Structure 1
Amino acid sequence: MKADDMWKVSTGKGVKVAVIDTGVNPDTPSLKGQVLVGEVPQAVGYKATEDYDGHGTSMAELIAGTGAQGSLKGLAPGAKIVPYRIGMKDMKDESEKGKAPPLPDVIRQIADSDVKIINMSFGEYIERPDVLAAIKYAQSKGKLMIAGTGNDAEGQNSIGFPAAYPYVVGVAASDEKGTVGKFSEYGNYVDLASPGLKVPTWCDNTFRSYCTGQGTSQATAIASASAALIWSAHPDWTANQVLASLIETAGRDWAKDDPSTYLGYGLIRPRKVLEDSNFNPGAAGTDPLAKENARGVTGVAANNSPSPSASTSSQPPKDTSGGQTSAAGSSSDSSDDNTTMWVALGAAAAVLVIGGGAFAVVRSRRGA
């Protein structure tokens, strides 16, 4: 990505990114001074700065970490983080689940703030009308919402939410050459790909050391940071224009109007936007994902969303790399980031996937 060159133009300064996750620890060397704790509304701020897993803190550092004291430096170190913690089924203290704010409430509170980007490095396999309504409200308020597609491509590869909701940018994980992670879930809800293999994250919630992990969670955070860099350089742009610029400059070897099932419109390259001071992002009100957002990823009108049982997905991708795959490193110096967590949202629970796996080159295009 040539981050050093990009930072000469933009560091993300002036852009706030909401991280909805397991909480964000504001006291790591990388995040000191980067987390706007006071801007979290009390109504949805329960233990927002107590990260019980380490995942949310890792995402925040990938976005806006400063790299202080040899820590992780994020792609947009000038940006600021507003943390939110949602309920997880695997929380040891059962009472914590009930105290955590519902996801729709969190999204609506963010929508009413001056946060520009909402990072959602989690997923569930059930569509929820209240979440969809909150997503639409946030879109009406000009927010750019980015979510991971999920990490179970080698398993059920079910359609993933919130990435599959209208107005949410679904991000797949790949390496710098556009090699999609074999674990990275795929379908019509994949809009862009972002680096998500061999990415450093905290090993656990002790915050003592980093491990090498991989997943669409990391890819989502890097995509959010990329958007922050662009929005900082062009503060007058709308969310539509920031997204349009990422789509226009994405790395791909296929037609832009024929997005890939696995990589969407291609691998994000924010540098291509930042190096062109005269870049034209299109009209402020033009939605670059208008077709998808109007019809939904399952081909059903967005105002008449299908029930979970009506959701469909294609078969898991075949290894087209001639059998060449690469797994995560040994447990002594890396992490498979293969933990599956459950988000408690009301009466039913939903999977929050922050997993990993091997990878293979797959660039198949979407069907008509």
Structure 2
Amino acid sequence: MPFSLSHWRRGVLHLLVLLGVGSVGIVSPAAADEFQDRQWHLDAMSAEELWPVSTGKGVTVAVIDSGVDPVPELRGRVVDEKNFAGDLPPNGGSGRSHGTEMASLIAGAAGSGGVRGIAPDARIMSLQTGYGGTSVGGPTEAWAQAIRYAADNGARIINFSQTSRALVSEAAGPLDRPLRQLKSAVDYARGKGLLIFAGTGNDAETSNSPGYPSSFPGVVGVGAVDRSGKVAKFSTYGPQVKLAAPGVDIPARCKSGQGLCKSGGTSPATALASASAALIWSKHPTWTNNQVLRVMMQTASKPEGKVPSKYIGYGIIRPGQVLIDGKGDPGDPDVNPLLPKEKEQTKPTRQPSAAPSGSSPDSGKGSDSEDAQRAAEGVAASGGSGGGGGGSGLLWPVLGTGAGMAVIGGAVFYLRRRQPRSSMY
């Protein structure tokens, strides 16, 4: 049943603008059950058909974020917690709503009155690296520590719904220490068999600056699409985008903890991509990170024109193609499909450019022709599902060398964004 505006209005009381992170529409507690029933991304991804096949059991997802609150939908699902952020900020408050939202979208339980996750039996490793929209002492050191901890303590997937905006300087020399430290941690985790998903950011309409860690080699940068399958206008684009997932009008707990809200950004899109990987890995526990990623790329709803697209990468995730229809060839367990020319061990690798000819990941706001291309690719992706039963018709730079060198900017951004079910997924 379509998630119509009339139904939405029954549950919405008013809009609350959250400076710095976007806006959300509040749903009264009395309407929570109805709201939970209308999480459009669950319908689009055919979650009810996926869950008899896989619920993510046995897979631990490390959520590197602002921490996780003990909300009912996550009871018993958080198996490890560690704080790399230091003491609470002087103004008080835990500021953990963003991490709670991501964890709930991954593993939230049914019947809890809260957000329901795509992989409800996955385990969550909550690794806190900041408070709210801030990071203590600069993001990269805490992030690097958290990534290594996840790699050493049983996580199989890292969900990184954050980005550090990069600044480009022609005068920049070798990579600065924080960026080297972060990249080293990413390489370490990939070398130990982890799959890393990271949001690309919400700056497409402004700077469109590439961010990190989504731009590192081998990391799966995730863009956002709306319920019609079109790429979200805010979704930062470029060669760092490898896959796309729903990221508009996604349910979340309100910051107050009371009631449910709608939110958006590449943050929730990243969480849904991580959860989809958990479902696939749970069904195929002997596969490697490379094999899980390869089948996700193969079965994604493809963009029109050149693949990968700078807007949605290899396409919109469709876990039903793998879990229900049995599609996708896992291929070589030791080769990362994003880095096909090199065997993936522990050494750093170079990532081939995924940008179409003449494009640039940091080119700023798109032209009219780019906007048309963006819209066309989104529509083509949403309509590009194959035949077959079950899930088949459903949802769904590397560091430059030479003169230009990317360096980490001074701020860390959680990737929630304000934005206004399609069977085409």
TM-score normalized by structure 2?
0.68
Counterpart-to-counterpart distance in 2, 1:249 and 1:69: 32
1:99: Cα distance to partner?
11
In 2, the alpha carbon distance for the partners of 1:201 and 1:187 equals 28
Whole-angstrom distance in 1 between the partners of 2:64 and 2:364: 30
Contact kept in structure 1, 2:66 and 2:132, CA below 8 Å: no
Matched, 1:150 2:206: no
Out of 283, 289, 292, the position equivalent to 1:239 is 289
Structure having the higher strand fraction is: 2
User: Conserved in 2, the CA contact under 8 Å of 1:30 and 1:67?
Assistant: yes
**Other structure's SS at 2:301 match:** coil
Mapped partners of 2:318, 2:284: distance in 1: 16
Note if contact 1:231-1:242 (Cα within 8 Å) is conserved in structure 2.
yes
Question: Is 1:215 aligned with 2:235?
Answer: no
State which of 313, 323, 337 in structure 2 corresponds to 1:274.
323
Q: Secondary structure at the match of 1:294?
A: coil
Report if aligned partners of 2:309, 2:354 keep a CA contact under 8 Å in 1.
no
Structure 1 CA distance for aligned equivalents of residues 245 and 119 of structure 2: 15
Letter in 2 for 1:201: A
After TM superposition, the structure 1 = structure 2 runs for residues 88-237 of structure 1, keeping only pairs within 5 Å, are 88=131, 97=136, 102-126=142-166, 128-204=179-255, 206-237=256-287
Conserved 8 A contact 1:124-1:352: yes
- Kindly tell me: are residues 276 and 211 of structure 1, through their superposed partners in 2, closer, same or farther at Cα, counting changes over 3 Å? same
Amino acid at match of 1:9: V
2:46 is the counterpart of 1:2: yes
- Offset, 1:291: 5.5
Partner of 2:7: none
RMSD: 2.8
1:99/1:243 Cα in 2 relative to 1: closer, same or farther (>3 Å)?
A: closer
**What TM-score does the superposition give when structure 1 sets the normalisation length?**
0.78
- The answer as to whether partners of 1:116 and 1:142 remain within 8 angstroms in 2 is yes
Checking the alignment, whether the CA contact within 8 Å between 1:24 and 1:51 is kept in structure 2 is no
CA distance in 2, matches of 1:193, 1:99: 28
**In the aligned structure 2, how far is the partner of 1:182 from the partner of 1:278?**
31
- Which residue is equivalent to 1:285? 334
Q: Secondary structure at the match of 1:56?
A: helix
| Mapped partners of 2:240, 2:157: distance in 1 | 19
- Cα distance 1:115–1:45, how it changes in 2: closer, same or farther (>3 A)? farther
Alignment of 1:20 with 2:81, yes or no, is: no
> Aligned with 1:20: secondary structure?
strand
1:220–1:131 Cα change, 3 Å: same
- What residue is the counterpart of 1:342 in the other structure? none
CA distance in 1, matches of 2:327, 2:210: 38
Instruction: After TM superposition, give the deviation of residue 209 of structure 1 in Å.
Output: 1.6
Q: Is there any run of 5+ residues in structure 2 with no aligned partner, and where?
A: 1-44, 167-174, 342-348, 377-407, 421-425
Structure 1 residues 297 and 110, CA, compared in 2 at 3 Å: closer, same or farther? farther
With CA pairs under 8 Å and 6+ residues apart, which has the higher RCO, 1 or 2? 2
1:4-45 C-alpha deviation (Å, 9 max, x unpaired): 0000100000000000001111x21100111113xx467x48
Contact 2:263/2:418 (8 A) holds in 1: no
Alpha-carbon distance, 1:68 to partner: 3.1
Distance in 2, Cα, partners of 1:70 & 1:247: 33
Give the gaps of 5 or more residues in structure 1. Answer: 300-310, 323-346, 360-368
Amino acid at match of 1:111: A
Aligned to 1:68: 111
| Alpha-carbon distance in structure 2 between the residues aligned to 1:90 and 1:3 | 31
Inter-partner Cα distance in structure 2 for 1:69 and 1:312: 41
Number of the residue aligned with 2:410: 349
Aligned counterparts of 1:249 and 1:141: Cα–Cα separation in 2: 25
Q: How many residues align?
A: 313
Instruction: In structure 2, give the amino acid aligned to 1:129.
Output: R
Out of 348-357 and 207-216, give the one that drifted further. Answer: 348-357
State the structure with more CA Rg: 2
Q: CA deviation at 1:285?
A: 1.1
Quick one: structure 1 residues 13 and 348, their matched pair in 2 at CA, closer, same or farther if it must change by over 3 Å? same
Change (3 A) 1:174 1:351: same
Match for residue 81 of structure 1 among 95, 117, 124: 124
Per the alignment, do residues 87 and 349 of structure 1 end up closer, same or farther by CA in structure 2, a change over 3 Å counting?
farther
